[in-house]
Structure 1
Amino acid sequence: MLRALARWPVVPATDAPESRDREPPEEGALPVSGIGPASESPLRSAAFRWFLGGQSISMAGSAMSPVALAFGVLEVTDSAAWLSAVTTAALVPMLAMLLLGGGIADRYRRDTVLRFTSLGAGLTQVGVALLLLTHQHPVFLLPLAGLNGIFQGLTRPALRGIVANLAAGRGIQRASSLLASVRNAMQILGPTAAGLLTASVGGGWAIAADAVSFLLAAACFARMSLPDLLPRTEGGPTMLDELREGWSYFSSQSWIWAVTLVFAVFNALNRGVWQILGPVIAHDTIGATGWGLVLSARGVGALMASVVMVKLTVRRPMGPALASMSLGALPLILLGVGANTLLLAAAAFLTGVVTEFFTVVWETVNNTHIPERLLSRVGAHDEFWSSVPIPVGQLSTPFLAAAFGTATVAVTGGGVAAVAMLLPLLVPLLRKIEINRSG
C-alpha cells in the first residue's frame, strides 16, 4: 500500500518523463487525475526497461525466499516460535526504517537508493544462505535478518515512487501491470522451485539464489538513466521538515488512511495465520512441495489478473477492489478446517486474482492522485501503519494456536479479515475516486 512546491526541480532525461507535481485534493473533494492523455508504452523508455529487468531478477529470487527460509528454520528447530522470531527479526527493522526511507527516496534519486539497498540486501542474504547450508542454529540468523530488514525498509518507499518517474497517464497503470505480471510469473515458478530445492538439497541453496538475484538487480539499476536533481538551495527544508510534510498530507486524506487502517488488521491476521501457521500445518500434512504448489497457484491467479489489468479500465475501481479483497481471507479459513492441497490451491488462486486487482488499482490511484514528490513519503506511511501490527500477529499466533487450537485461530482470523476489508466502503470519497478518465 502505498507525493509544498518542489524544492529541487527535476531536469528531465531523454528516457524519463518530467516529474509531475500536483496540488493535493482538499479533504472532502473528489481527487481527479491531472495527468492528461495516455502516454506511450513505458517499454519505450530505456530507464523503465532496466528497472523492469532488475526487478524481474530480484523478484525471481525473492519468490523462493519465504518457502526456503521457513522450511530451512523448521528443519533445524521444528518450532513455529523460532520461525516467528526469525521473520519478526527482519520485519521490525524494516518497519523502523520505512518512514526514513520515504524521506530519503523523495529527497534523493530513487535509482541510486535502489542500487545501494539491493547490494546490501544481496550481501546479507549470502550470510543467511551460508548459515542455512551449514545447519547453524537460527539464533545466528537474527542479526542478518535484522540487517536485511533495514535494507528492505529503505527499498520499499523508493519502489513505491519510482514508477511515476518512468511513466505518465495510462502508462502508469500499464507500467504497474507489467511489473505485477513479471512479479506474479516469478511467484508461480519461485515457490515450486524453492519447495523442490528444499526437499532435495535444502533451503540454503534457494536463499543463495535470492542473494545472487539482489546483486544482479543492483547492476541493472546502475544502468538506469533517471533525471538528475538540481543542487539544494541554502536554507531549504530539512529532512525533518519533509517528513512532517509527508505525515501532514497522509493524515489529511481520509481516502488513504481508511484503506491503511483496514490493511493493518488484514495484514496482522493474514501474515500471522498464513505465514506462520501455514508452513507448520503444511509441514505435517502436504509437505514443502505441496505448500510450494499452493503458493504457486496464488501466483497463477495474480498473473492472470495483472495481464488483464494492462488493458482493463474501471472508472471507479476502489469499491470493487476492496469488496473483492474480502475473498482474500478464504484460504485462512480453509487452512483452519484442514483442506487438502487442491482446495487450498483453488482458494489461493482466487486470492491471487483479487489481491492483484486491488494492488494495481491502488498503485495507479496513488500515482495519479498524490503529488509525485510526496509519493515515497506518503507510501511509506501507508506501508508503515498497515504493517506495524504484523509483528504482533506473527509473535502471538503460535501462542494463540497453543491456547485455542490451530483451527480456531485460522478460521476466526479469516472471518475477521474478510469483514475488515469491507469497512472502507463506508467512506463516500473512496468510492468516487476515478482513474484514467482521459485515457
Structure 2
Amino acid sequence: MVIARPAWAGRNYTLLTAATVIAGLGSSGALIASAFAVLGAGGSATDVGLVATARTVPLVLFLLVGGALADRLPRHRVMVAANALSCLSQGAFAALVLAGRPELWQMAVLAALGGTGQAFFAPASEGMVLASVSGAHSGRAFAVFRMGMNGANIGGAALGGALVAAVGPGWVLAIDSLCFALAGALRAFLDVSGVPERTPGAGLLHDLRDGWREVISRPWLWAVVVQFAVVNAVIVAAESVYGPMVADEYLGGSGPWGIALAAFGAGTVGGALLMTRLTPRRLLFVGSLCVFPLALPSAALAVPLPAAGLTAIMFATGVAVEVFAVTWMTALHQEIPEDKFSRVSSYDWLGSLAMVPLATALAGPVQDLIGRKAALWGCSALIALLTAAVLCVPDVRRLTRRPPREPGQADAPAGSAAGVAEPAG
C-alpha cells in the first residue's frame, strides 16, 4: 500500500524532513554511545559530564556567529557544511573508540567540534521547513516535521542503547557519522532557485546588532526568550539532577524513570499529531497557556507521586510542549523578516541554552541549602510565575495568525500591528 504524499509537502519539505529524521536517529543513539565510550575508556561520571560540557560550551559560544553567517550565506550551504563537520568529528570519535582506549582530551575536543557544527546548523535550519510550504499549511507542516523528528529521537535512543550493548559504542558513533553524511547529501539537493540572492552586510558585528534590534523591538519575542532561558534551565536541572535521585529513592530505580522519560517523548509525538489538526488563531496566547503544564513534573517529583502518576504527567507535558513549539515557530515565521530570521533564531537558541550549565551546576548546592523538595517546588513556582508574567504582555495575548500572503505581497514592517487582533491598549 502506497501512502500518498500531501499536496503541500513539496520536494524541499520532503528532503528536509527526511534529512532531519535520519540525523535524529543517529544523534540520539550517539548521545548514549559517547557516554559509554567515556566509561569504557575508564572514565568516571565526572568525565562523562566534562565531555558533555565540551559539546555544550562551543554550542553556546558560536550560536550568534552561526545565525549571522546563515543570514549572509545560502542557508542550505551552511547546513551542509555543518553536517560535514559533524560527520567528520563523529567519524574520528568512532575511529578512536574502535582503535582502542581514547584519551579524555581527544573525546572532549571531538565533542566540541560536534557542538560547533550544531551551533552553525541550528540557526540556519530554523525556518527552512516553514519556508518550504505555503503559509496556509505552515502549522500542519511544522507539526508533521516535529512528529518525525521526535519519533526519530525516541527510536534512535532505543536503538542506540540496544546497539551499544550489542556491538559497542564505537559502531554506534560510526553510524551517527554516516547519518550526518546522508542528511547533508539530502540537504545538498534542496532547490533554492526561488531564494533571493543575499547581499553582503556591513560586517558581522553590525549584523548581530541588527538581529538584536529585531528581538528587543518585539516585546512578545524577548519576553518568551527570557522566560525560556529560566524555564529550560530549571527543567534540565530538575530532570537531570533531581529526577534520577527521586527515582532511585522512591520510584523503584532507573526503570520507572526511563519509562517516564519515554512517556514524555511519546507525548511530544502526540502533541505534534494534535497540531496537524488544530490551527489556533491566537498563537502565542494558546502556546503560553501550554507552558503551565511544564511546572507539573517538578511538582510530581517533589510530592513524590507514584511512578504511574509521574508517567502520566510526563506524557501530558510532552503534548503541551509540542503545542507551544508549533505555535512559537509559526509566530516567528509569520512575524520575522526572512533575511533576518537566522539571527533572531540564534538569539532564541542562546536564550534557551545559556543558563542550563549554570542551573545544573547549582542544583546540588541549592539542594544542600534548602533541601530537594523545596528546590523542586521552587522549580515549579518559577515556571508558573514566569509564564503568568509573559501572559501579562499585551502582544503575547493579541498576536494572531494572519491569512497567508499572496505572491508578491510584502511582509508587514517590523514592529507593525499586522499580527495583532485588537488595537494596542
Structure 2 match to 1:248: 213
Structure 2 match to 1:169: 135
Distance 2:368 2:159 in 1: 32
Structure 2 match to 1:23: none
Which secondary structure state, in structure 2, belongs to the residue aligned with residue 183 of structure 1?
helix
Per the TM alignment, residue 361 of structure 1 is displaced from its structure 2 partner at its CA by: 0.3
Structure 2 match to 1:275: 240
Task: Please say if 1:430 is aligned against 2:396.
Answer: yes
Structure 1 match to 2:85: 120
- CA-to-aligned-CA distance 1:186-241 (integer Å, 9 cap, x gap): 2332333334445555555444433322121111111211137666668x633333
Distance 1:96 1:151 in 2: 12
Q: Is the 8 A contact 2:8 2:133 kept in 1?
A: no
Structure 1 match to 2:158: 192
Q: Is the 8 A contact 1:326 1:419 kept in 2?
A: no
RMSD: 3.1
Structure 2 match to 1:180: 146
Structure 1 match to 2:413: none
Structure 2 match to 1:216: 182
Which secondary structure state, in structure 1, belongs to the residue aligned with residue 401 of structure 2?
coil
Structure 1 match to 2:57: 92
Structure 2 match to 1:227: 193
Structure 1 pair 330–200 and aligned structure 2 pair: CA distance change class (3 A): farther
Structure 2 match to 1:24: none
Indicate which of 4, 13, 19 corresponds to 1:48. 13
Structure 1 match to 2:343: 377
Deviates more, 1:146-155 or 1:59-68: 59-68
Q: Is the 8 A contact 1:121 1:214 kept in 2?
A: yes
Q: Is the 8 A contact 1:194 1:292 kept in 2?
A: no
Which secondary structure state, in structure 2, belongs to the residue aligned with residue 422 of structure 1?
helix
Distance 1:246 1:268 in 2: 24
Distance 1:198 1:343 in 2: 31
Per the TM alignment, residue 73 of structure 1 is displaced from its structure 2 partner at its CA by: 4.9
Structure 2 match to 1:143: 109
Distance 2:307 2:171 in 1: 25
Task: Please say if 1:421 is aligned against 2:387.
Answer: yes
Structure 1 match to 2:123: 157
- CA-to-aligned-CA distance 1:227-273 (integer Å, 9 cap, x gap): 37666668x63333322211111111111000000101111111222
Distance 2:248 2:35 in 1: 10
Letter in 2 for 1:303: V
Distance 1:112 1:142 in 2: 27
Structure 2 match to 1:111: 76
Structure 1 pair 229–192 and aligned structure 2 pair: CA distance change class (3 A): closer
Q: If the length of structure 1 is used for normalisation, what is the TM-score?
A: 0.80
Distance 1:230 1:437 in 2: 23
Structure 1 pair 86–343 and aligned structure 2 pair: CA distance change class (3 A): farther
Q: Is the 8 A contact 2:268 2:322 kept in 1?
A: yes
Task: Please say if 1:343 is aligned against 2:309.
Answer: yes
Structure 1 pair 231–160 and aligned structure 2 pair: CA distance change class (3 A): closer
Task: Please say if 1:312 is aligned against 2:266.
Answer: no
- Which ranges of structure 2 fall in alignment gaps of 5 or more residues? 406-425
Q: If the length of structure 2 is used for normalisation, what is the TM-score?
A: 0.83
Q: Is the 8 A contact 1:191 1:292 kept in 2?
A: no
Structure 2 match to 1:21: none
Task: Please say if 1:101 is aligned against 2:66.
Answer: yes
Deviates more, 1:309-318 or 1:189-198: 189-198
Structure 2 match to 1:357: 323
Q: Is the 8 A contact 1:118 1:217 kept in 2?
A: yes
- CA-to-aligned-CA distance 1:344-403 (integer Å, 9 cap, x gap): 332221111000000000000100111111111111111112321112112222444455
Per the TM alignment, residue 336 of structure 1 is displaced from its structure 2 partner at its CA by: 4.8
Structure 1 pair 141–348 and aligned structure 2 pair: CA distance change class (3 A): farther
Letter in 2 for 1:215: A
Letter in 2 for 1:270: I
Distance 1:90 1:363 in 2: 25
Q: Is the 8 A contact 1:191 1:293 kept in 2?
A: no
Aligned length: 399
Structure 1 pair 364–233 and aligned structure 2 pair: CA distance change class (3 A): closer
State the percentage of identical aligned residues.
31
Letter in 1 for 2:55: A
Structure 1 pair 64–407 and aligned structure 2 pair: CA distance change class (3 A): farther
